[in-house]
Amino acid sequence: MAAVLALAAGVVLGLLFPPTVPVLLQPYLPIAVVAALDALFGGIRAKLDGIFDDKQFVVSFVSNVLVAAFIVYLGDQLGVGGQLSTGVVVVLGVRIFGNVAAIRRHLFRA
């Protein structure tokens, strides 16, 4: 419950104080969101599995976002552009999908 409230608080915060994202950081935002979603769903699933761990969640969130951003940056620098980010999206997408499937099985037993 507290987690949902915290999430909602973050949303409200973002709505109340919409920050101006520096142009330099803009390309990293979408991939950071995907990484954050991966951490989020991983956390939810771990919670449902009963093995949730605060440290693990925070570390996975921070590292996911940073690594995803770094890969996008690397792709830009290497000139392969979106292809590296495609890799990130695929990997994270697969994980999100798997975790959501597990959550679904928890919740609906189907």
Partner 1 sequence: MSSPPPDDAEVTRPLPRPDASPPPDPETTVALPRPDEPPAASDPQDDPQATRPLPRPEAPAADPSPADSSPADNVADVEPVRPWPHAEEPGHPPADQAGDRTGEKAADDAPAEQAVSRAHDAPVSQAAGPAEHLAAADPAEHPAAADPAEHPAAAKHFERATDTAGDEQPDAKPARPRPSVSIDLLADLFRNPLDPGYEAAARRRAERGEPPAWARRGGRAVRTVALVLVGFLLVVAYQQVVASEPQTTQARDDLAKEVADRRAEADGLAKDAERLRGDVNRRRDEALAADPELARLRDLEARAGLTRMTGDGAMVKLSPAAAKRDPVTGQTAEEDPGRVLDRDLQEIVNALWQLHAEAIAINGQRLTATSTIRSAGGAILVDFRPVTPPYEVSAIGPDDLDKKMSSSATGRKFQRFASLYGMQFEVRAREGLVLPAGADPGLRYATPPPQPSPSAPVSPSTSPSGGR
Q: Who's near 102: CB < 8 A, 6+ residues apart?
A: 45, 48, 49
* 89 part of the interface to partner 1, by CB under 8 A: no
* 87 part of the interface to partner 1, by CB under 8 A: no
Interface pick for partner 1 out of 68, 69, 72, 96 (rule CB under 8 A): 96
C-alpha R_g of the chain: 16
CA separation for the pair 80, 104 (Å, rounded) = 36
Q: Where in 14-43 is the site for partner 1 (CB under 8 A)?
A: 14-15, 18-19, 21, 26, 29-30, 32-33, 36, 39-40, 42
Q: Which CB, 63 or 78, lies closer to partner 1? A: 63
Of 45, 43, 61, 63, nearest to 53 by C-alpha is 43
Interface pick for partner 1 out of 22, 24, 50, 77 (rule CB under 8 A): 50
* 91 part of the interface to partner 1, by CB under 8 A: yes
Interface pick for partner 1 out of 67, 78, 80, 94 (rule CB under 8 A): 94
Q: CB–CB of 85/71 below 8 Å?
A: yes
SS3 16: helix
